[in-house]
Chain A
Amino acid sequence: MAEITLTHLLFLSTALFFIGAFGFLTRRNMITMLMSVELMLNSVNINFIAFNKYLFADRLDGVFFTLFLIAIAAAEAAVAIAIIINIYRNYQSIDIDDADSMKF
């Protein structure tokens, strides 16, 4: 019976991270990009939990960090959505490519 090892979890979180990164780099919709960022954050959360569980089972640091990250992710989502709404008001679009006036 195969047990779920640290390697499995790390594999999962890495996959999740790169899926998020790929999404962030390729999707043009800002909401989707925000979701990709959340994915990456959550992959980190999985890492924290996994390391905490397998390497330092007697401590709770990873769990704390995870909680902390969830809070940050919530705040970030709030800020990001606020920005997106503002951008939408200015450009009538939430396509990231339309908001490129910060150049040269």
Chain B
Amino acid sequence: MISGSTIALIPLLPLASFLLLGLFGRKYLSSAAGWIGTLSLLASSLISLATAYNYFFVSGKVNGAYQQITLLKHTWLAFTPGVSIDMGLLLDPVSMMMIVIVTFVSLMVHIYSLGYMKGEERFATYYAFLSLFTFSMLGLVLSINIFQIYIFWELVGVSSFLLIGYYFDRPSAVAASKKAFIVTRFADLGFLIGILILAFGAHTLDFKILIERLTTSSPELRGMIGSSFLGLSALTWGLLLVFAGGAGKSAMFPLHIWLPDAMEGPTPVSALIHAATMVVAGVYLVARLFPIFAISCPGALHVVAYVGVFSSLFAAVIACTQTDIKRVLAYSTMSQIGYMMFALGVSGYGGEHGLGFSASMFHLFTHAMFKALLFLGAGAVIHYTHSNEMQDMGGLRKYMPVTHLTFLVACLAIAGVPPFSGFFSKEEILSAAYQNNFPIYVIALFTAGLTAFYMFRLYFNIFWNKEFHSHHDSSDGHHGEAPWTMKLPLLILGVLAFGAGFVPFGNFVSSDGAALPAEFHLALAIPPVLLGLFGIALAYTMYKTENDLPNKTAALFHRLYQGAYHKFYIDEVYLFITQKIIFNLIGRPSAWVDKNIVDGAVNLSANLTEDTSGLIRGWQSGKMQQYALWFFAGVMGIVAVFICMWH
């Protein structure tokens, strides 16, 4: 058994490296920063591997089911006797899987950045932020308390903001970082209110007690189902709002708009944060509260399923038209997270019914590997060509053999071609959908075909198609494919993207902790594979060599193509809402009212006083005889009064 304080080192080592690099990195450690960050993360990932091994194979199982273990619980803020924010470490299959993914991908990105970010002016700051992010993400997945998750949720949000805005002298990066932060903040508002509802419905913030109270027939659960607001029960509201928070972080429709723009950050950051780890936090959150969703509130789970599947299709369609390779990958991330979401949405709780849950986590795992690989590969390409646009690329297979090979592996994995990892997880998701919700299954199948198509469109456009012409003077002796620090992570991830599917995942991660033996349905596996191959073939004919098929197709589906190319104008809608409605209809009038009405009232009272005094002071004329006249009049008046009184 590994002690709690050792496990606590997993998040604390990156924190230490953040503090060290953040405080002293700029001045004293600018050259060693990369190695400090990488080494601390190496230590952290070794500990997390050991912890996960220990949990899965030695100490985690009791009576054939994996248990939730809470370690190092201590109070951070206490509200009422039951409701307090506790910090601690939660060990269960999902969190174990997540710490392995997070530390591993983060380690890969740390190593990769040694080469990719070399020579940057703010190198130490970059590593400090990466460490901050890793710390927050690890804290998030190890949370024992719904408020602890919220705390780290905000922290990952801000580290994402800092990293997207890393190139802060580019206005586009600044805008993108603001957008990412504000959109997810908006979603977090829902999360926060959801927490408040759940916390005071169940009188606890602790996950374990929360789930226990809201899945068994307890007075708290009855109370929450009994009280309703606008036709929905308090429980449904709470869960839906929490899901809204998750949807924001995980870039689900309609809160996805920040993710494509977030690609303004350095590419390794996109790989780590906006592909492999942070964006799956929403999936993780739903998985964490899954028993409540599945047992007590299936209605909310349906919402999760439909939002997931719609986002998945929506993003896949857009991805087919984008030309910036990182944006294509961003939309594909959104689409794959949609897969994970609806897999949770169609799942039930416990035993056989929990297939969707396992499948979702499985896909999260494999996706982290191949999507990180895709982004790092794209990073290598961008590093080589100094461009994000497809038309500046083509024929790169000759120049970048390692990148080409690993990228191909990742594309095959995401397209679901057997025996690459994506095939296994996708197959499980689809069979879960098939068993529970046929319409979702059909949409998901279609999306699988689209996925294969757009990924290979990307692949052929980068590595085949036309010949590569460097825009830069090639006489400067082009720097070769990439330094070893960049190739090494590609190779490691390539191996994992190929082999991760062979893990008997259901044995480790399932909705109720008990092992779920993998069943393989050949009949269900064939359609997605065929569709995938069809998509690849289509991409092959259209993009293998330069031809005018793409343009013709675009002309054929003119409307759809234009819509998808402009991301279905969602950005414009948001812009309209924020600019026209929030700024012009709320902000500006508020400022105006404050200046003119509220402050106007204050100034008015001042002016009234002044005016009154202006009126009265005329009596003080300085004319002696006037005073005398008034004096006489006064005396006369008094005399008159006296005379009247006399009688």
Contacts and interface: CB of A to CB of B under 8 A. Distances in A.
Direct A/B contact, Cβ within 8 angstroms: yes
Interface in B610-633: 617, 620-625, 628-629, 632
Contacts of B622: 100-104
A35 interface: no
A100 B628 contact: no
A100 B625 contact: no
A100 B623 contact: yes
B632 A96 contact: no
A104 B624 contact: no
Interface in B454-497: none
Contacts of B620: 103-104
Contact of A96 (B617, B625, B629): B625
Interface string A78-104: 000000000000000000110111111
A103 B621 contact: yes
A28 B623 CA distance: 10
Contacts, number: 27
A102 B625 CA distance: 13
Nearest to A99: B624
A96 B622 CA distance: 10
A21 interface: yes
A25 B617 contact: no
A25 B625 CA distance: 5
B624 to A, nearest CB: 5
A54 B63 CA distance: 133
Contact of B617 (A101, A102, A104): A104
A21 B625 CA distance: 10
Nearest to A96: B624
A33 B623 CA distance: 14
A11 B621 CA distance: 35
Contacts of A104: 617, 620, 622
Nearest to A100: B622
A96 B624 CA distance: 7
A73 B620 CA distance: 29
Interface string A10-21: 000000000001
Interface string B626-642: 00110010000000000
A33 B629 CA distance: 13
B634 to A, nearest CB: 13
A96 B625 CA distance: 8
A25 B623 contact: no
Contacts of A99: 624
A36 to B, nearest CB: 10
Contacts of B628: 24-25
A81 to B, nearest CB: 16
Contacts of B625: 24-26, 28, 33, 96
B632 A25 contact: yes
A28 B626 CA distance: 12
Contacts of B621: 100, 103
A40 to B, nearest CB: 11
Q: Which of B617, B621, B624, B629 has the most CB of A within 10 A?
A: B624
Contacts of A103: 620-622
Interface in A48-96: 96
B626 to A, nearest CB: 9
Contacts of A33: 625
Contacts of A25: 625, 628-629, 632
A24 B628 CA distance: 8
Contacts of A100: 621-624
A94 B617 CA distance: 25
Interface string A22-52: 0011101000010000000000000000000
B602 to A, nearest CB: 26
A100 B628 CA distance: 14
A102 B623 CA distance: 8
B6 to A, nearest CB: 83
Nearest to B623: A100
A103 B616 CA distance: 12
A86 to B, nearest CB: 15
A24 B622 CA distance: 16
A102 B602 CA distance: 32
Contacts of B624: 96, 99-100
A51 B270 CA distance: 115
A99 B620 CA distance: 14
A104 to B, nearest CB: 5
A31 B622 CA distance: 19
B632 A21 contact: yes
A104 B623 CA distance: 11
Nearest to A102: B622
A37 to B, nearest CB: 10
A11 B629 CA distance: 22
Contacts of A97: 623
A100 B626 CA distance: 11
Nearest to A28: B625
A47 B624 CA distance: 27
A6 to B, nearest CB: 20
A16 to B, nearest CB: 16
A26 B620 CA distance: 19
A21 B635 CA distance: 13
Nearest to B624: A96
A104 B632 CA distance: 22
A18 to B, nearest CB: 10
Nearest to B614: A104
Interface in B83-119: none
Contacts of A102: 622
Interface of B: 617, 620-625, 628-629, 632
19 contacts: A25-B625, A25-B628, A25-B629, A26-B625, A28-B625, A96-B624, A96-B625, A97-B623, A99-B624, A100-B621, A100-B623, A100-B624, A102-B622, A103-B620, A103-B621, A103-B622, A104-B617, A104-B620, A104-B622
Interface of A: 21, 24-26, 28, 33, 96-97, 99-104
Given A25-B628, A100-B621, 12 more contacts: A25-B629, A25-B632, A33-B625, A96-B623, A96-B624, A96-B625, A100-B623, A100-B624, A101-B622, A102-B622, A103-B621, A104-B617
Q: Which 9 A-B pairs have the closest CB atoms?
A: A103-B622, A100-B622, A102-B622, A104-B617, A103-B620, A96-B624, A25-B625, A100-B623, A25-B629
